[in-house]
Structure 1
Amino acid sequence: MRKILVVGAGQSGLQLALGLQSHGYEVTLMSNRTADEIRSGRVMSTQCMFDTALEHERDLQLNFWESQAPKIEGLGVSVAAPGSHDPGPTQRAIDWVGRLDGYAQSVDQRVKMAGWMETFAERGGQLVIHGAAVGDLDYFSRTYDLVLVAAGKGELVSMFARDPERSPYTEPQRALAVAYVHGLGPRAEHPDFHAVRCNVVPGVGELFIMPTLTTSGPADILFWEGIPGGPLDVFNGVKDPAEHLSLTLELMEKFTPWEYARASKVELTDAGGTLAGRYAPTVRNPIGRLPSGGLVLGVADVVVANDPITGQGSNSASKCAAAYLASILEREDKPFDEEWMDSTFERYWATAQHVTKWTNAMLAPPPEHVLNLLGAAGQLPTVADRFANAFNDPSDFENFFYDPEKTAAYLASVAGA
């Protein structure tokens, strides 16, 4: 029986550990917190998982909350009209919603990670509650056939060198601020189904709103992505959750009044329901070298960390875990050597490269042909639906999004249909 160590108990680490466990591997999982500490702690992220990622969870029978979490059936885009920020935009230049072919869902990672961790232990997995340092891995690497690092923050990430060819940004491109709330009213348009709402305020940033399931039941996430140094970049140093929510709502009133109109009765889900921060989108080399010469393989956002502007973090983590699981199973009893580690990462990168390209494009001001595309989606439901479903399969953006000529040809074909 092959012994594998997984360091980090997030979406990818836990999904991979549980998947390996189900195939008879002897798995040890290291987490710096217990399940109870995770469940009662601060929110860790936003997450909206689309159909392919949800299917990976279903394949492993880990979709424990599927019947409880809101079914997200659409994705809407609004763009504030230019030049109307003072006292605030009342108009939307663009406003539409596309329908998803398969529904998406969001489960607060405090709920999911705590539940999955308990399941791993109940199924006989060895769970070690310990914050791992490089020295620990050096010791452990001698007793395991493979060490996987899925802890995306802290000292361990420094083992993986930045890949400059795949990382165009060296600084954070957005200041992030999240609030989980109860009491958000339905949108006047389409109140009959759940949708993720992406509100773009040109030159300022974006507001995302998504239905979720949290520790206290169904809720909504209010998520500001502010251009650094701009009017949304005001959450740094705000420690009081009530002040964080108040700032969130003030900015909604000023920049997205159509969303603020349904937020008059919101309250935080809990004292841990806020989060703020920023990081530079980075792709890293997938192999970490230990002082003793041993090798470890980086997983998910350890090696590909994209800005959350395209909502791909948990989706990418799930897809990475699925790709790595397949590569490990195919390897059977052969050694997990450097060549295998490289090819295993490249298998994941075949998917992840499309996410990185799209996300980095969305962080820049939209070119004219993209604005034309978003505008056309308001008139042509086929375009809106295709854009929405590309969140599930970002490789499709190659066919109609980046190249002005392909965009124009696509729009002409749809308009003439």
Structure 2
Amino acid sequence: MRHILIVGAGQSGLQLALGLQSQGYELTLMSNRTADEIRGGRVMSTQCMFRTALDHERDLGLNFWEERAPRIEGLGISVAGPSTPGGHPRVIDWVGRLDGHAQSVDQRIKMAGWMETFEQRGGQVVIHGAAVSDLDVLVRKYDLVLVAAGKGELVSLFGRDTARSPYDTPRRALAVAYVHGLDPRPEHPDVEAVRCNLVPGVGEFFVMPALTTTGRADILFWEAVPGGPADAFQDITDPSEHLERVLELMEHFTPWEYARATKVELTDAGCTLSGRYAPTVRHPIGRLPGGGLVLGVADVVVANDPITGQGSNSAAKCAAVYLESILERGDRPFDEEWMRTTFDRYWESARHVTKWTNTMLAPPPEHIVHLLDAGSAFPAVAHRIANGFDDPSDFENFFYEPEKAAAYLEEVREEAEAAEAAEAEAEADDVAGDEAEVEADDRAHEVVRSFR
């Protein structure tokens, strides 16, 4: 039986641990907090997961909260126009339907529940904040050591990949608040949707339905341009003051969202979060002082900004790739070549996320603005952009290059015009059919009268 150590009890670490455990591997999970400490602590993320990532959980039977969490059926984009005396009006506004529903489950619930499940199934949990010196000893006792803790000293083992990391400073300042009492969007009151609000020069504001420790909630999430007017949370430690600042910014920059938030209240004492970090891709293999090797997992080696909502999705996809690669390896050693190949398999999907995320962190070029605007007129465009959140690789086909975007929009317009023409022809046929039916009835009546 192979012995594996996973350091870190987040989405990727726990999903991978439970997956390997179900296949008969002997697992040790190292976490710096107990399940109860996680459950009673501060929120860790916004974690909206789309269909593919949710399917990885379903495949392992880990979708414990699927019936309780809100079913997110759509994803909407709104763009604020220039400031007016009445605030910032919307110049773009649409919602696209998702092919498969998304969900957001507070990681305090999920990680605590998964950790308890792992222990109940016989897994060993060690509560200890691992240091490099610890791994230098432990790497000799296990067939494989995986580092899935994206913060702290261990990240220093993995050098920055400069070729894949265009930014070396934070591109957004993040501020999150979980709330109860948010009203639905009046234009789509029956559609649970993630709302992405873009405020040029200021940042982005997201709203998403979620399940938290106190039940159904909504997450309010500012991504502020550093040094800009929404970068206003650095010195705030009081949760109530944090929410007050979130609402002030909403009222000024996204009044259509603020209008439904006038009665909100915080869900619990630990439901706010703020911070910033530079999006970074790191080399996947860490070399310990004693020569041992460890493999980085998920955001340890690919840490994207949350602007595209891909963190938990990428973590789930990474865990699925690593699980498959470990199972395929059988009894052969987990050597450096295997580690590099395993990461490369993950990078095949992660590279699309990184490219898309880094694109959205920069001011959008004209052709992307045209694409976003087209979502209002053409549901097919809204649908495609919305479902790109589940499969970012599709953006390669129409999003990044002006020529591809123009060709795609022309194709959409032609299809829409053809559909309108077909509809008009069908309506004309219906009118002609009605007239023919009346004429036939008249003739029938004449025949009947002729026999009288």
TM-score range, shorter chain: over 0.9
- The answer for the alignment partner of 1:6 in structure 2 is 6
Q: Secondary structure of 1:322's match?
A: helix
Contact 1:281 1:306 survives alignment (8 Å): yes
Residue 371 of structure 1, aligned match among 365, 369, 383: 369
Cα gap change, 1:150/1:369 in structure 2, threshold over 3 Å: closer, same or farther?
Answer: same
- The answer for the alignment partner of 2:418 in structure 1 is none
- The answer for the alignment partner of 1:404 in structure 2 is 402
- The residue correspondences of 1:160-239 to structure 2 (distance < 5 A) are 160-239=158-237
Partner AA of 1:21 in structure 2: Q
* TM-score with structure 2 setting the length: 0.91
**2:60 counterpart of 1:60:** yes
Partner Cα distance (1:87, 1:269) in 2:
30
**2:55 counterpart of 1:44:** no
**2:39 counterpart of 1:34:** no
Partner Cα distance (1:381, 1:169) in 2:
34
Contact 1:85 1:254 survives alignment (8 Å): no
Partner AA of 1:385 in structure 2: H
Partner Cα distance (2:155, 2:85) in 1:
43
- The answer for the alignment partner of 2:440 in structure 1 is none
Partner AA of 2:72 in structure 1: I
- The answer for the alignment partner of 2:334 in structure 1 is 336
Residue 84 of structure 1 and its aligned partner are, at CA, apart by 1.1
- The answer for the alignment partner of 2:17 in structure 1 is 17
Identity of aligned residues (%): 77
**2:139 counterpart of 1:137:** no
Partner AA of 2:294 in structure 1: V
Q: Secondary structure of 2:104's match?
A: coil
- The answer for the alignment partner of 1:84 in structure 2 is 83
Q: Residues 349-386 of structure 1: CA distance to partner in whole angstroms, max 9, x if unpaired?
A: 00000000000000000000000000011000000000
Q: Residues 243-269 of structure 1: CA distance to partner in whole angstroms, max 9, x if unpaired?
A: 000000000000000000000110000
- The answer for the alignment partner of 2:97 in structure 1 is 99
Gaps of at least 5 residues in structure 1 are none
Partner Cα distance (2:45, 2:388) in 1:
22
Q: Residues 37-75 of structure 1: CA distance to partner in whole angstroms, max 9, x if unpaired?
A: 000000001110000000000000000000000000000
Residue 258 of structure 2, aligned match among 254, 257, 260: 260
Partner Cα distance (1:22, 1:76) in 2:
38
Partner AA of 1:29 in structure 2: L
Partner Cα distance (1:110, 1:364) in 2:
32
- The answer for the alignment partner of 2:74 in structure 1 is 74
- The answer for the alignment partner of 1:275 in structure 2 is 273
Residue 86 of structure 1 and its aligned partner are, at CA, apart by 5.4
Q: Secondary structure of 1:105's match?
A: strand
Partner AA of 1:338 in structure 2: E
Partner Cα distance (1:193, 1:121) in 2:
38
Partner Cα distance (2:87, 2:395) in 1:
32
Contact 1:85 1:255 survives alignment (8 Å): no
Partner Cα distance (1:61, 1:139) in 2:
34
**2:314 counterpart of 1:321:** no
**2:284 counterpart of 1:286:** yes
- The answer for the alignment partner of 1:295 in structure 2 is 293
Partner Cα distance (2:164, 2:259) in 1:
41
Residue 87 of structure 1 and its aligned partner are, at CA, apart by 5.7
Q: State which structure, 1 or 2, has the greater radius of gyration over its C-alpha atoms.
A: 2
Q: Secondary structure of 2:277's match?
A: coil
Partner Cα distance (1:115, 1:86) in 2:
49
Partner Cα distance (2:113, 2:177) in 1:
22
Partner AA of 1:109 in structure 2: Q
Q: Secondary structure of 1:196's match?
A: strand
Q: Secondary structure of 1:293's match?
A: coil
Partner Cα distance (2:246, 2:111) in 1:
27
Partner AA of 2:23 in structure 1: H
Q: Secondary structure of 1:374's match?
A: helix
Partner AA of 1:84 in structure 2: S
Partner AA of 1:157 in structure 2: V
- The answer for the alignment partner of 2:115 in structure 1 is 117
Partner Cα distance (2:312, 2:234) in 1:
24
Residue 237 of structure 1 and its aligned partner are, at CA, apart by 2.0
- The answer for the alignment partner of 1:362 in structure 2 is 360
**Number of residue-to-residue matches in the alignment:** 415
Q: Residues 205-237 of structure 1: CA distance to partner in whole angstroms, max 9, x if unpaired?
A: 000000000001010000000000000111012
Residue 85 of structure 1 and its aligned partner are, at CA, apart by 5.7
Residue 193 of structure 1 and its aligned partner are, at CA, apart by 1.5
Contact 1:3 1:145 survives alignment (8 Å): yes
Partner AA of 2:66 in structure 1: E
Partner Cα distance (2:324, 2:300) in 1:
19
